Amino acid sequence: MGGCVPSRERRASNSRVLLLLGLDGSGATTILYQMVLGRRLETIPTLGFNHEVIRYDGLEFELWDIGGLDKMRPLWRQYSREANGIIFVVDSADRSRFPKAAEELKKFFGDGGRRSFVLPDNPLLVFANKQDVNGAASVPEIEEVLDLSSLPVRSFKVVPCCGRTGASLGIGLDWMTAELQN
């Protein structure tokens, strides 16, 4: 399945591939279309993937939103071979799913003796989504529960956001752009 993503050699020098991942219901697809269309779009659980291209601050981002349902998560790693960066979306208002989000993130990065396809020099952006909900987790809480400092990434950043309104998505994209231009 990873053959769907163009190889690094065939992409333009200003083009980058970003994977957009998250458990079902985290809001990853809502965030994708907020970035593409600049407005909220009613979504359903992603069965497969969504692929969109956006231009942002001099770069072209190929965004691959891979479904977050149980049966889709094993495919995340297959799409990571050509990724330049990873965006992981967590529902910061649903603490009951934090352990599962942490587990799936560790699996993605090769925890448990499995080799990772993710290159260790990739930056990881975590969108702490649904900050508009009372009681949403803070950035330090998300960093701790996901154990981000243990992941084999060049750098990471947690950005509190609201996918429904688009609030703070630009902050995350600014950070990712700067990381990918370094």
Domain segments of the chain: what residues? 14-181
pLDDT-derived band at 157 (thresholds 50, 70, 90) equals very high
pLDDT at position 173 is 98
Are the C-beta atoms of residues 67 and 105 closer than 8 Å to each other?
Answer: no
130 labeled binding residue: yes
pLDDT, one tens digit per residue, over 78-123 is 888 889 999 999 999 999 999 999 999 999 988 655 556 666 779 9
14-181 under CATH 2.40.30.110, yes or no: no
24 labeled binding residue: yes
163 labeled binding residue: no
pLDDT-derived band at 155 (thresholds 50, 70, 90) equals very high
26 labeled binding residue: yes
pLDDT-derived band at 42 (thresholds 50, 70, 90) equals confident
Q: Which residue has the tokens 């060049």?
A: 154
Q: Which residue has the tokens 């990853």?
A: 28
Longest dimension (CA), the chain: 45
